[in-house]
Structure formats: structure tokens, C-alpha cells
């Protein structure tokens, strides 16, 4: 499904904006609370036999029924959709870039038809180069910073979706310092605005913010109404010193069980006092149920939005998305309970272990 420039994907969802610490409806500035899940897969699942959008969706195991379950069944009002920059620009194998983009269109349309926004998340630059190895030995495909092609990517996506209120933009998944065995240089933006390849390893706000500001400007040149998510450094966790002087910016952090509770307020909690804070990723296994309840209570007190990780990848929210088993894991039950209408979520959590009772 290609976007022909008309409002054919958004199904009447209203435009959003920001005021102070809140995401709001642009038309009347009423607060909007966006909470949902990540549906990963399109960043790495190559189209198989089919060279059209259906091939990518089939490879990732994404169906209309599944999206309806996420939105209507679980109560998600936002779907964070990780994607692959290279495939969006050049396609993959026999599948064209338009086929890949049409797969994004289709998910956006399915989600909007059910009543949810889609947050397009630049998760991988490509599927052919990894950036060092993670502590467990797995290759890391999340780049430390964007690259030159990211400018073309966001200009193209801003044009494609400039008439679609349902589409929101997450600039770059997780800015972070290079891993010790990452052989690829950092692509930095110098003071003169030119791109510079650097052998340095550290990524701080000084390296990330020029990129964030550049990409915001690129998007806004094509799409003035866009709402744009900007993550922190240290794998998006640390939002200290992260600020972009532009309207309709949401600040996103990623929080996992290795992040001590004592650091939450200093690293990201302060943001929600005067700017919109969003938890773009959080998740855990069954053993992290109590940790997850603490985090949900913390962010509920700040009335901020979130998207839990992940419907389909570790740590999973459902038993087996690929096989169509959408029954929740224990942590997934925690998330589903928090997505239910006001009152039901806390009652669910209380039944699951009494964690919320400690805060009432």
C-alpha cells in the first residue's frame, strides 16, 4: 500500500503536538496518553519468496489480526515500529525500497484503523554490518550514531508521511559509545556542519546533539507538523543535557533491569517536569516482574507515555507471536494490565503479586 499523499492511512486520528510536559491533540490541546508496545521484526526480517510488501510482513510474522490484538485486545494506543534504514532507501534483494515502505504503510494503516498511532523507529542502519559484540557474544546491529544516509532517509519519510497524523518519528534508536571491537568509525557532524569520520569511541551529548538537531531540521523542512522523539545517550538511557530547541519534541529513554532505580530520576525522571518524557523501551523476563511494577508505578506518577519491549523479540511480552500465540508472559501480563482502562491495570497488578499495594 503506497501512500499517495492523501490521508489514507490515518483513519481520522487527530494531529498531535506538545505543550509543556504533555503530548496533546493539536486541535484542542487535550492531553493524550500514548502507551503501547514495540512490534520489532521489520528491522531484520528479509522478504522471502515475495518481492512486495507482503513478503516483508510475512517474514516478520506481522498480520492484521496481530495488530488488532495489540490495539483492541491489549489496549495499546501507540505501536513503536523498528525499521531498517538501508531497506527503506534501497530495498532488499528482489524487493524494492517501495515494497519495504509499503510494508510500513500497511502496519500504520492497520494500527490506525484500530485507533493507534505508529512511532517509526530507526533501529538498524543496515543488516549487513554489525557494530561489535554484546557482552553475551551476540553481534550488535545497533549503530552508535546515524550516518550520512540518515539525512536522506528522514527527508524521504517526512515527505511520505507529511499528511498522515498517525505517523510519529523516533530519530535514532540508541545512541551509545562504540563497543571495544566495533571496527566502524563514528560519523560526526563538525562545527561547520560537515560530516567527519572519527576513530573516537565516546558518544556523549556533544556528539549526539548535532545529529539530533540536524535530523529534526531535515524532517521539519518537509513536514512542519511532525512530532519527533529524541533519545538519550548511553543506549538512550541518559537524557541529561539532551535538549533540542524546537517545538513538538518528545524525549525518550530506554530502561532495562540493569539500570538501578536510584539513577532513574537523575538520568531521565527530571525531564517530565517541563518537557514530554516517553519510555521508548522497557522489558524483562518473569524474574523481573517486581522491577517492572516499580518502573510502571514510577512512570505512571509522571503521567508519561511508554512502549514496552517487545511483542516478538526477547524479552517477549507474548509466548510466541510468530506462531500466533498471543497469551502473555508473566511480564507481558504486567504490561497488558497497565494498558487496560483506568483502574483495571492496577487491580490486575495487585492480584499478580501485591506490588502496587506498596504504593497505595
- What is the tens place of the pLDDT at every residue in 217-227? 999 999 999 99
Between 358 and 158, the higher pLDDT residue: 158
**Mean pLDDT over the full length of the chain:** 92
Please report whether residue 5 resides in a domain.
no
Residue 8's pLDDT band, with cuts at 50, 70 and 90, is confident
C-alpha cell belonging to residue 331: 511480564
Question: What pLDDT sits at residue 3?
Answer: 47
Please report whether residue 9 resides in a domain.
no
Statement: residue 359 has pLDDT above 80: no
Output the pTM of the full model: 0.94
Residue ranges making up the domain that contains 158: 24-358
Question: What pLDDT sits at residue 292?
Answer: 97
Please report whether residue 302 resides in a domain.
yes
Please report whether residue 245 resides in a domain.
yes
Region 109-128: mean pLDDT is 98
Please report whether residue 19 resides in a domain.
no
Question: Alpha-carbon distance 21 to 16, whole Å?
Answer: 13
- The position carrying cell 532495562 is 256
Statement: residue 354 has pLDDT above 80: no
pLDDT per residue over 235-249, tens digit each?
999 999 999 999 999
pLDDT > 70: what percent of the chain?
A: 92
Total domains in the chain come to 1
Region 262-266: mean pLDDT is 97
Please report whether residue 7 resides in a domain.
no
Residue 355's pLDDT band, with cuts at 50, 70 and 90, is very low
- The position carrying cell 499528511 is 163
Statement: residue 348 has pLDDT above 80: no
Instruction: Name every residue whose Cβ is closer than 8 Å to that of residue 157 and which is 6 or more positions away in sequence.
Output: 88, 120, 169, 219
Residue 208's CATH number: 3.20.20.80
Statement: residue 194 has pLDDT above 80: yes
Question: What pLDDT sits at residue 53?
Answer: 82
Distances (CA, A) of 31 to 34, 156, 174: 10, 30, 27
Please report whether residue 47 resides in a domain.
yes
Q: What is the CA radius of gyration of the chain?
A: 19
Q: Are 64 and 58 in contact (CB under 8 A)?
A: no
Question: What pLDDT sits at residue 241?
Answer: 98
3-state secondary structure the chain: CCCCCCCCCCCCCCCEEEECCEEEECCCCCECCCEEEECCCCCCCCCCCCCCHHHHHHHHCCCHHHHHHHHHHCCCCEEEEEEEHHHHHHCECCECHHHHHHHHHHHHHHHHHHCCEEEEEEEECCCCCCCCECCCCCECCCCCCCCCHHHHHHHHHHHHCCCCCCEEEECCCCCCCCCCCCCCCEEEECCCCCEEEECCCCCCHHHHHHHHHHHHHHHHHHCCCCCEEEEEECCECECCCCCCCCCCEEEEEEECCCCCHHHHHHHCHHHHHCCCEEEEEECCCHHHHHHHHHHHHHHHHCCCEEEECCCCCCCCCEEECCCCEEEECHHHHHHHHHHCCCCHHHHHHHHCCCCHHHCC
pLDDT > 90: what percent of the chain?
A: 88
Region 293-301: mean pLDDT is 95
Closest by CA position to 143, among listed 80, 209, 203, 204: 203
Question: What pLDDT sits at residue 48?
Answer: 66
Please report whether residue 192 resides in a domain.
yes
Amino acid at each position: 500500500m503506497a501512500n499517495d499523499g492523501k490521508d489514507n492511512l490515518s483513519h481520522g486520528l487527530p494531529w498531535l503536538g506538545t505543550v509543556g510536559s504533555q503530548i496533546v491533540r493539536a486541535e484542542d490541546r487535550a492531553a493524550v496518553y500514548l502507551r503501547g508496545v514495540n512490534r520489532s521484526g521489520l528491522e531484520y526480517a528479509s522478504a522471502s519468496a515475495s518481492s512486495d510488501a507482503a513478503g516483508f510482513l510475512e517474514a516478520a510474522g506481522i498480520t492484521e489480526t496481530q495488530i488488532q490484538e495489540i490495539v483492541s485486545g491489549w489496549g495499546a494506543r501507540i505501536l513503536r515500529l523498528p525499521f531498517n534504514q538501508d531497506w527503506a532507501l534501497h530495498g532488499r534483494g528482489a524487493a524494492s525500497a517501495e515494497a519495504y515502505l509499503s510494508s510500513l504503510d500497511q502496519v500504520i494503516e492497520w494500527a490506525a484503523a484500530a485507533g493507534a498511532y505508529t512511532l517509526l523507529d530507526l533501529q538498524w542502519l543496515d543488516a549487513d554490518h554489525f557494530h561489535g559484540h554484546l557482552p553475551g557474544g551476540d553481534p550488535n546491529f545497533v549503530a552508535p550514531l546515524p550516518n550520512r544516509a540518515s539525512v536522506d532517509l528522514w527527508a524521504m519519510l517526512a515527505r511520505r508521511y507529511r499528511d498522515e497524523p498517525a505517523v510519529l518519528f523516533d530519530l535514532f534508536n540508541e545512541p551509545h559509545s562504540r563497543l571495544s571491537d566495533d571496527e566502524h568509525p563514528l560519523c560526526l557532524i563538525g562545527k561547520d556542519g560537515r560530516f567527519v569520520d572519527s576513530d573516537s569511541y565516546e558518544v556523549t551529548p556533544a556528539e549526539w546533539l548535532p545529529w539530533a538537531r540536524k535530523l529534526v531540521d531535515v524532517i521539519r523542512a518537509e513536514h512542519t507538523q511532525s512530532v519527533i522523539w529524541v533519545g538519550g545517550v548511553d543506549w538512550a538511557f541518559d537524557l541529561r543535557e539532551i535538549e533540542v530547541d524546537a517545538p513538538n519534541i518528545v524525549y525518550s529513554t530506554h530502561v532495562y533491569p540493569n539500570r538501578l532505580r536510584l539513577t532513574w530520576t537523575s538520568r531521565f525522571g527530571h525531564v517530565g517536569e517541563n518537557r514530554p518524557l516517553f519510555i521508548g523501551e522497557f522489558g524483562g523476563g518473569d524474574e523481573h516482574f517486581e522491577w517492572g511494577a516499580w518502573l510502571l508505578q514510577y512512570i505512571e506518577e509522571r503521567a508519561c507515555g511508554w512502549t514496552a519491549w517487545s511483542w516478538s523479540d526477547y524479552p517477549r511480552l507474548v509466548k510466541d507471536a510468530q506462531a500466533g500465540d498471543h497469551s502473555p508472559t508473566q511480564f507481558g501480563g504486567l504490561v497488558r494490565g497497565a494498558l487496560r482502562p483506568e483502574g483495571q491495570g492496577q487491580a490486575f497488578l495487585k492480584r499478580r503479586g501485591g506490588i502496587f499495594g506498596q504504593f497505595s
